[in-house]
Structure 1
């Protein structure tokens, strides 16, 4: 027994030694449990899941812009040999994130809130910094990744989440919480990289203030690169100090800000939720392009992505989702759905939902044998209505434990039986808000300018934050500002 313990200890030490790698940024040895080849492969495998979850924003000029600036910055980074890929994804949430191996994503929401190229470049450098310093790899080596959460901050049991999240593979990487040291290091790298391609890194610190104001005003979640730092004031000061030092080091006397160039670039950008992809109003989900509607249960939260619409009560004890299922017939779609989620039908019947042919199926998912051995897990029971509408099969699936099923059956079934064709003209013709860049005709306060451009009183602070200004700021004639129109 003692000999076995000694042998095992030696093997563990050898494994630890072999798992060390030189950090490209610090030059020090890090403990990482994957090679660079594995890191690159992980990013490449996860990229399709990211695009499935968020969708690619359809603006060729904006995609070319982020690629061009990203590649220029990658070339001066500590890992220029990686094959980087930069994308703007179609999400209103204000965020930017990176996957191992060179994949960087900015939401259209964060693109809307930058007010010049230098702010954009600072955050771009920050995200590249997470990749060059291998922060994601280090974090994954410290702990097993959890699957992506379903409904924001809601807590949903892993068994239920397994059925609800159809694009989870690799997306846990997006939710890694980097430590303060990692964020501080990425701030430093963001300053370094953006300065090296000629931008004024002071602007990155100013953008942190925009994010703080936005979060305080709306209560929405903020990106990890802001939220993980305990003292934003210290961080703001530190970035300014770093920017001054790097300007001196690079002898950069005419650092670029490029405010007007950037604002022109985002003129027409979709702002906020895009109703064409579906929207919730007065507890009803409407989808103008696919022309259907159904209610959201009272008090339930929801999340809409290109792939799935999900709803759940706040306690996370159940959930419902809507998705498309391939199949020439409802029966073929039902078979694919049952197999895909490893469900065993308990009962099923043919029916109609507001004149549309449908199948109603109760089915169970038994815990896997391995899970049963590790801990006692409950049987998951589902109610699914498969509805044929147009040329599509719509699956509305309610998911909870077998013990809770009777409590949720009425909520599930009444929601599903309310699925119907969307006919209201005002919903079918709903258009998204888009950012419009206007030039101030005469000097005035920002508040006056916004009101003159039909921004309502209750949204003035929102647009002050969007412009990185205060409502009382005097804006000079000829200055460009952001407003919105349909």
Structure 2
């Protein structure tokens, strides 16, 4: 190999290493700046959203979700019962004052989920399966826990950090690979155990 070829190879390796370290440094900076304290656990989690920002996200997405699931279930007795039960549970959570909203969706689908900002949803299909208040309270408390643990923000932040890691690796390889991971709809054991033999789906994402 000629001298100038050796020089070019060394320069190229040094350049790649420098770019890689820059990518890693960017990841570290984002991780430090994105750390916040989980109200539920007291531990540090990676979150790119403040509680106020999560509230705005929830307010933006709420009408879409209601429409997607066929509107609200407007029987006052049922609406008030679920709302009262939800607020009783929320008052003893780590975030009692964020303006919780509990909505019964007019859908036969067996479903319960939460979105950022304290928006909790249960379907009328799920209500028909709950044999007592304790079972329903367990489901609602489970979803309140997702919100207070900054569950949604942590998941979003993890995706952003993974994206930064991919960027750093892409720089090292001299090319970028564009990929998108779509979270699946999962069946959660904590809820499933309350309704043995039933198939319950809990969305773990916002639908856009």
The TM-score normalised by the length of structure 2 is: 0.70
**1: CA distance, partners of 2:76 / 2:144:** 22
Residue of structure 2 equivalent to 1:360: none
Aligned ranges for residues 321-360 of structure 1 at < 5 Å? none
Residue of structure 2 equivalent to 1:463: none
Residue 32 of structure 1: CA displacement? 2.0
1:82 equivalent in alignment to 2:98: yes
Number of residue pairs aligned between Structure 1 and Structure 2:
166
Residue of structure 1 equivalent to 2:179: none
Q: Aligned match of 1:12 in 6, 13, 27? A: 27
Aligned ranges for residues 211-226 of structure 1 at < 5 Å? 211-215=195-199, 222-224=200-202
- What secondary structure does 1:92 align onto? coil
1:56 equivalent in alignment to 2:72: yes
Residue of structure 2 equivalent to 1:21: 36
**Compared CA separation, residues 212 and 45, structure 1 to 2 (3 A):** same
Give the RMSD, CA atoms, in angstroms.
2.7
Residue 100 of structure 1: CA displacement? 1.2
- What secondary structure does 1:143 align onto? helix
Residue of structure 2 equivalent to 1:72: 88
**Which of the pair has the greater relative contact order for Cα pairs under 8 Å at 6+ separation?**
2
**Compared CA separation, residues 82 and 19, structure 1 to 2 (3 A):** same
Unaligned runs of 5+ in 1: 145-171, 188-203, 216-221, 226-486
Residue 6 of structure 1: CA displacement? 4.6
1:119 equivalent in alignment to 2:135: yes
The TM-score normalised by the length of structure 1 is: 0.31
1:99 equivalent in alignment to 2:115: yes
Q: Aligned match of 2:158 in 127, 142, 147? A: 142
Preserved CA contact (<8 Å) 1:20 1:29: yes
Preserved CA contact (<8 Å) 2:185 2:201: no
Residue of structure 1 equivalent to 2:174: none
**Compared CA separation, residues 90 and 126, structure 1 to 2 (3 A):** same
Aligned ranges for residues 304-383 of structure 1 at < 5 Å? none
Preserved CA contact (<8 Å) 1:47 1:103: yes
**2: CA distance, partners of 1:111 / 1:34:** 32
Preserved CA contact (<8 Å) 1:139 1:176: no
Preserved CA contact (<8 Å) 2:186 2:201: no
Unaligned runs of 5+ in 2: 1-14, 161-181, 204-208
**Compared CA separation, residues 143 and 116, structure 1 to 2 (3 A):** same
